[in-house]
Amino acid sequence: MGLAAGKKGLILGVANEFSIAWAIAKKLHDEGAELGFTHLPGDKMERRVRKIAEPLGAKLITPCDVQSEDDVARVFAAAGATFGSLDFVVHSIAFGPREDIQKPFVESSREGFKTAMDVSVYSLALVSRHAAAYMPAGGSIVTLTYFGGERVVPGYNLMGVCKAALDAAVKYLAYDLGPRKIRVNAVSAGPVKTLAASAVGDFDKLAGLYEMSAPMDRNIEREEVGTAGLFLLTELSSGITGEILHVDCGYNVMGSPGRAIEKVKALFLAKARALDPGLADKLRDDDEIKRL
């Protein structure tokens, strides 16, 4: 039997097969879980999600507008009618107006801030409240966060502030729902190319920084995040709640660029050697490199 055999749950926020939530959903399905999916309202998004969810035997595929209390209530009523009860929920929802998230946080608009916080943070509280009503025997809720909520990541801007609030929400929800045997945790993944990540500036540079600086000398694979999500959604993590689980090859533990400095120096020398072998020999002197 699989690790999630007999478990039933709802995945909110899958956009396509590149979504982190999809990687988690695949792992859950492979381990025997029955799944339902929500998608952004609209025929285009429904077609995208149906294309990947139906082959997994999805029991429920429905739109969800997390800015509408009534719509979230409808979604969970439909989940209750379909599954009877729920064992887990994956919350993979974040949004901010592009014009606000692509400028420095200090320049973000009031309305952009309110929208980003509403969709990216408050939605977790709203979803958790409704999910809890369908978890009479307890359960697990997992959301997706990012290191930009713990430390400044240039280019992450308003979404970094939202992720900081989301991290705090995880802890308070874990406390609120703990007596009902419902655990609430978050996965903090390294850079993964998704539809949401496309709105963040300098994504490729960020992924390259992880490859050069992380203790494991690489960036993560999407499937590794899926496995971490599976762990938090099953009894394997029965004593864990209120945690931010980093899946980033150790990048978050670094207090300096680490081996990245030597790697950059080696690349610099290699390019110099290709242009002028004599110049490369001269540049082996660290003082000369600093001067340039």
Which residue in 156, 172, 210, 251 is the catalytic one? 156
- If asked whether residues 136 and 177 sit together in one domain, one would say yes
- Catalytic residue check, 172: no
Angstrom CA distances, 89 to 12, 37, 56, 112, stand at: 8, 10, 17, 27
Q: What 3 state SS string does 9-56 have?
A: EEEECCCCCCCHHHHHHHHHHHCCCEEEEEECCCHHHHHHHHHHHHHH
Show Cβ contacts of residue 158 under 8 Å, excluding neighbours closer than 6 positions: 96, 100, 101, 105, 108, 112, 113, 116
Residue 3 lies in a domain: no
- If asked whether residues 249 and 144 sit together in one domain, one would say yes
3-state class (DSSP) for residue 185: strand
Give me the tens of pLDDT residue by residue for the chain, a chain 292 residues long.
799 999 999 999 999 999 999 999 999 999 999 999 999 999 999 999 999 999 999 999 999 999 999 999 999 999 999 999 999 999 999 999 999 999 999 999 999 999 999 999 999 999 999 999 999 999 999 999 999 999 999 999 999 999 999 999 999 999 999 999 999 999 999 988 654 545 455 656 666 788 888 999 999 999 999 999 999 999 999 999 999 999 999 999 998 787 766 766 666 566 656 766 665 565 555 555 444 4
Residue 175 lies in a domain: yes
Show Cβ contacts of residue 52 under 8 Å, excluding neighbours closer than 6 positions: 14, 16, 17, 22
CB 14 within 8 A of CB 39: yes
In residues, how long is the chain? 292
Residue 36 lies in a domain: yes
Residue 1 lies in a domain: no
Q: Determine the structural domain holding residue 48 and report its residue range.
A: 8-253
- If asked whether residues 143 and 266 sit together in one domain, one would say no
Q: Whole-prediction pTM value?
A: 0.88
Helix, strand and coil in the chain, % to nearest 5? 55, 15, 35
CB 102 within 8 A of CB 157: yes
- If asked whether residues 207 and 278 sit together in one domain, one would say no
- If asked whether residues 150 and 267 sit together in one domain, one would say no
Which residue in 134, 146, 210, 251 is the catalytic one? 146
**In CATH, what number is assigned to the domain containing residue 226?**
3.40.50.720
Instruction: Give the pLDDT of residue 111.
Output: 98
Residue 28 lies in a domain: yes
What is the distance, to the nearest Å, from the Cα of residue 132 to the centroid of all Cα atoms in its chain?
Answer: 22
Instruction: Give the pLDDT of residue 192.
Output: 82
Angstrom CA distances, 148 to 23, 211, 252, stand at: 21, 17, 10
Instruction: Give the pLDDT of residue 270.
Output: 67
Whole-angstrom distance, CA of residue 62 vs CA of residue 128: 18
- If asked whether residues 215 and 279 sit together in one domain, one would say no
- Catalytic residue check, 134: no
- Euclidean distance between the first and the last CA atom of the chain, given in angstroms as a whole number: 62
- The region, left, alpha or beta by phi > 0 then psi within -120 to 50, assigned to residue 202 is left
Whole-angstrom distance, CA of residue 266 vs CA of residue 194: 31
Instruction: Give the pLDDT of residue 201.
Output: 52
- If asked whether residues 271 and 128 sit together in one domain, one would say no
Instruction: Give the pLDDT of residue 286.
Output: 53
Instruction: Give the pLDDT of residue 292.
Output: 47
